[in-house]
Amino acid sequence: MPPGLVIDAGPLIAILDDREVEHLQSVQGLDLLISARTRIVVPLPIVFEVVKWLTYEKRPEIARAWLGQIQRGAVVLYPGPSEIDEVVAILHMMPYWRGSMEDALLAVTCRRERLPLWTFNYRDLTVFKDLQFWSPG
């Protein structure tokens, strides 16, 4: 188990939605991380993405309750100007890449924190050859 891990929105949503194909695997993965006392890192834009999803797919009060849980149980990283500059540089260096700003920020966060990433979005993120990925199974 890694000492810390950056988590993308996909696994977080799968944990929260039992209709997701990856639901059981994601719940088991979170249980592993918690039992190993792994430092869970979630960049703020990912938190926004999950809260928005919960607000529209579930209910606003569920979104707010989850927000409280993530604030207590994870490290929410707030991107600053230097991280945003790195994201913009990535977008300029790869003009035909179809990844999002959130994807680029995940790569920047993993590099800065020297942590692996838990994601389901390998299509857009494997372009970053230096990233390490984690999966519960």
Digit-coded pLDDT (tens) for 8-38: 999 999 999 999 999 999 999 999 999 999 9
DSSP string, 7-62: E-HHHHHHHH-TTSTTHHHHHHHHHHHHHTT-EEEEEHHHHHHHHHHHHHHS-HHH
Instruction: Write out pLDDT tens, residues 90-131.
Output: 999 999 999 999 999 999 999 999 999 999 999 999 999 999
Q: Which residue has the tokens 């979630």?
A: 42
Mean pLDDT of 79-87: 97
pLDDT for the residue 128: 96
* Per-residue b or e along 2-18, where b marks 16 or more CB atoms closer than 10 Å to that residue's CB: eeebbbbbbbbbbbbee
- The continuous run of DSSP H or E covering 92 comes out as helix 81-93
pLDDT at 137 over 90: no
**Domains identified in the chain and CATH numbers:** 4-125 (3.40.50.1010)
Q: What is the pLDDT of residue 97?
A: 96
pTM of the model: 0.93
- Count of Cβ atoms closer than 10 Å to residue 72 Cβ: 7
